Structure 1
Amino acid sequence: MRYQTPTTLSSSTTEVKQPASTMSAQPPSIPLSLLRLASVLICLHILTLDLSDAEHCYDNGNFTAAGNYAENRELVLSSLASNVASNGGFYSGKVGNGSDVVYMLAFCRGDFSNDTCFKCISSAAEDLMIKCPTQKAAFSWGTVDPPCIIRYSNDPIYGVKQTSPAQMLYNTGHIQMDQDEFDPIWRNLTKELAVRASMGTSELKFAAGRTLLPNFQTMYALLQCSPDLSSLDCQSCLWECIDGYQQCCHGYQGGLVEKPSCIFRWDLYPFFVSKPGNPVSSPPPPTAVAEDDHTAPLENAQVTYGKTVNSLWIVDAVEGSGVLFVMAIVFMPCFIRRRRTSPWKVLSAKEEVATTENLQFKMSEIRAATNSFSEGNKLGEGGFGKVYKGKLENGKYIAVKRLERCSNQGQQHFKDEVAQLVRLRHKNLIKLHGYCLEEGERILILEFTPNGSLERFTSDSIKRVLLSWERRFSIIRGIARGLLYLHEDSCLNIIHSDLKPSNVLLDDNMNPRISDFGMTRLFDLDQSREKTSHSAGTFGYMAPEYVRHREISVKTDVYSFGVVVLEIVSGKKYSEHLLSDAWKNWRKGATFRLIDPMLNSSSSRSEMSRCIQIALLCVQENVGSRPTMAEVVLMLGSQSTTLPMPTQPAYSTNASVGEMSTSSVSGLSTPSTNEAQDGSTSYMISLLID
């Protein structure tokens, strides 16, 4: 299967016309837009991918070569291309009777021309007959890019959502902008287009659009379902694609997910084509970003940031033999580039299994890295075990967590949970590299952070001098973004439930990395158990509803975040007076009294006071009065955003503090000064959001 950028000069994608005016001896001028496009594609490379899984033969049973089923299948496949092309890109039908009936369904991508659709279906149908010679059910993604999809079976398939197997591809280049700014824009565009596609007709469920990013790049996305699906099944299928991409390939700058019943693709260049014969069903009035003068004009043009552009991108045919010559020279090195240097990565089901196995470290490696768990390599000790500094043979430093509180779940469960947690990738989360399950041990291999925990700085009057306000504010924003990713943008949607300075680690650039998230999955701690005698958390950072009623939600993390922010701004460790002092000084308009005396920059006082107000909103007694982390990130990112007025926070009176004595809370412990770089002396839970 050939996977190309849409500007590849191919007879199956774009017809190249040569106007008479270009036949002169003088070389034609090349539009600036094409030169820009060429320079982009030099980086992206035009590539050929060997996708051996374009066809999939199911095990629904076999037929004999001389039987009626074979004849019916050949009949329906041989006429399929013309049936699909003549019916606007989608065809469903059956041939035969009784046990010999063959059900057939096929569709082309919504921006295909009839000619391209015919060629794709014809080629895929021929390959299916060859590669699935006796199977009664099979499907194909087609043998050209963009894809077309064919399904046939001895069972009815019309209206039946099929999501397995899935094929994923991603560009190994990384997003060149702040990931936390990019993620909400990416999510909003894909979500809107998924809804639009699902609301299509029984002939076409397809949507494509673009949005302008803050760095002036444009993001493009395309989503499509098999038209026979219900709106609900279509949206469900597309969301599986979107979530699957986030889970697999978060942070990369483009990708594709294909399932038998739906397609999702996005990239940072225009890869889809709008044809008069292939309109999006019920499109809204077109709006677009301002484009280069050499591109086709678009009506009602306007510049928008993070807002879906609902009109389809129109790709003009490349004009002039001179352009062809230049493009061929530019792209030739890319065609001959070997596959192993390709910027695109294909992820198959087999590779996912292999990836899981590659996460496993040998005990010999771990012992060599940590000098056999020597005391000199010990970083600290937390509620789940001891943590050691290690150095691998390749010179890479790691943190090795030697777990002591092991549950009774099997090794495969442990492996599966680690494989899930490894996929959580965000610049404000500690990276989990793998595990070791030898010699009766359960060991996690984590990213090493040379500057240790935030608690080491906030509790030390000497080290605290190193934390300028700019650095503290950057840490606050980083923690907020990390929590937002855990709550809303990750594939698992995790509640941390033990956020505190000792669980925020600082890398070599003092960027915050949240640690000890997802531990419940590894230790098999269910919520009902935690509601009885094994409450988890650290005194002072736990929301009142969690302590009193064992109620947990994303707002419990919001509460903890508020306490951490007050510690960062004030330079004081948590005490029963911290929230009371913050509230009293804010009410009197004297927040400067709470600010760390080491922060003597008067130019940042308003920003510091704003952070105190945000923190007070986070520690509200009423759960509903607390903002979400998405709202917190917005408040921190825009000084123009009006903040609500907080009310008296939880635990800000002596009476309420008295209710919170450690003796009244089962299973809790207060922070220790000898905590591990990634852990805490308290037990912790990180529950999944259902």
Structure 2
Amino acid sequence: MFPSLNSRNLLLVLLSVSVFIIPQNSQITYLYKACFDPPRSRDHAKFESNLNLLLNSLSSKSHLHSFYKAFSRNLYGLYLCRGDVSIQTCQNCIKVATQEIKIKCAYHLSAFIWYDQCMLRYSQKSFFGVAQISPGTLMWNQKNKTSVNQPDVDALALIYQLIKEATNTSMLFRANGSEVVTNSSEHRYGLVQCTRDLNSSSCSFCLSQLVVEAQKFSQQKAGWHIFGPSCNIRHENYIFYQQNWGPDNASTPPMNQPDDEGSAEEFAYKVRATVVLLVLVAMTASFLGFASYVCFHRKRRLRGGETTDEILLQKLEILKKHHTKEQGATKDEYNSEVQNFSFKTIKVATNYFSEEATLGRGGFGLVFKGKLSNGKEIAVKRLSFKTGQGLEEFKNEVTLIAKLQHKNLVRLLGFCLEENEKLLVYEYMPNTSLDTFLFDSTKRQQLDWSKRRNIIKGVARGLLYLHEDSRLKIIHRDLKASNVLLDEEMNPKISDFGTARIFGNDQIEASTERVIGTYGYMAPEYALEGLFSIKSDVYSFGVIMLEVISGKRNTGFYQPERGLSLLSYAWRLWNEGKGLELVESDLINTCGDKEEALRWIHIGLLCVQENPQDRPTMSTVVLMLASSSNLPHPFAPPFSVGRFFAAIQSSSTTVSSKQVSCDC
């Protein structure tokens, strides 16, 4: 079994297509683009000049090389053509790519663009020699394979054999696959490829991780194509590559074909006989590679001075000394109402953390309902002792949320740090979280338009307090429907500040080496680059707003015939003048002012625009919600051409990139 990759990030955009067949001619087929780092200066002339020099340098080599990298005036760039296309097709593709990337990613300091025949990327930061699979994109053949309930062992065997061929031969890290005959009707064809700035081990690691990610989402598909910045893999049940294979289209026979002395049947038997061995070898190699990677980065983090579990515990013990060990309220340096509860008190209150008292599971542990001896009901979050992120969250919430007081923020009552336990005690919210009502076909009927209006406005006011009105400037970083709690009157309260960060008054943006959040609610600049700001929270608020209006979950919404995310679906309906079709059907007759519903969809789309600079601040959002003033026209949300897939239970990252956790 492959090792878990839940400490890594691979943002997958899954594009379902009716028939995944691309012409085998010189026609250039666009697949996807990713644009990052919009410039902070409006003087674009110098950057445009430098970019033109780099792109011209790359394009000038496309008639000679199928791969080329270049550096020009603080910009790094490379292109890679598919290994089986002709040099003429490669030249045509790079010519198109150098023109289109300037249009599709105008003035962005870092960008990728993929075509079926080639890919091109540039950045102000050096990436040569670094194996990256993020951002990654997965496309699949909509036609199901025959054995839909079984792993496609033959496909895996072929791909892992191609990975071995590509990284252990002189094929310049690319290999196509000849057919593997499994019976009289099924065949397998594959192609793997890495950019040639990678060494052999980096190429192998890159391709192996793509296989792991592809298998999570495409096991029932007849064909799929997954590609990232440094490598790509494609598998089909038909011949999709040019059969005149070789370096720069030299005439080289395809690999893995049976020789002239043997028959196809003998070859098929040999292949089947080695399938199990190949899979086991690949699994072992993947595990060893992952273990080495974890050890290397763990040592590097410790050398870099990052906080260890032991140091965190020492800091928490110092924090604990500010409290007495007596039960009840005691003053600390932050807030006189925060209590240091004894572990015995919490055990009794929760009936010894019984299953009946369990309210749910959060990103860092279980949550229990409890009742103190005075009859007060509480919610207790029990953090995992072995989780470093849980330690960070514990310290962050105790030292941060105690400083915040607002009716739309959940209140922290106290904590406990005894017997290797880390417990956070909150006010109990009888109606649990927004998602338990919004996405339940029965409970959502309790959320009429008036209640939904109140929830949206309450969350907006709570977020405005965090960003502008509190004495601290707080970025939440994990705002989602499950982190909006509802009291007995269905009033919303933002919860879970374990990943929140404090900004200075004049601070606009920050970056992190550890992206923690939930795919589907994370702004693209945060998910892909670790950049966060108040505009990241605005994006998350916009997603929640559209979910509340539609009653549909962004991370589960899907239209097979169109491959749309909820954001894309809302954008399309609004542009076609059919915005009311987004509103949950049961609300149409109760929402009263349909113009208000349309206006709020408009505001939600303004919040989820791809460029952070285009999104409004929360103070502007609150004004928009309370008035009928004219609204600016929104730009398209990110990934509006395909589904923004968010139901990812584990995540992946690059060989030398950010360590990422995803509370999905």
TM-score, normalization: structure 2?
0.44
**Normalising by the residue count of structure 1, what TM-score does the alignment of the two structures yield?**
0.42
Higher relative contact order (CA 8 A, sep 6+): 2
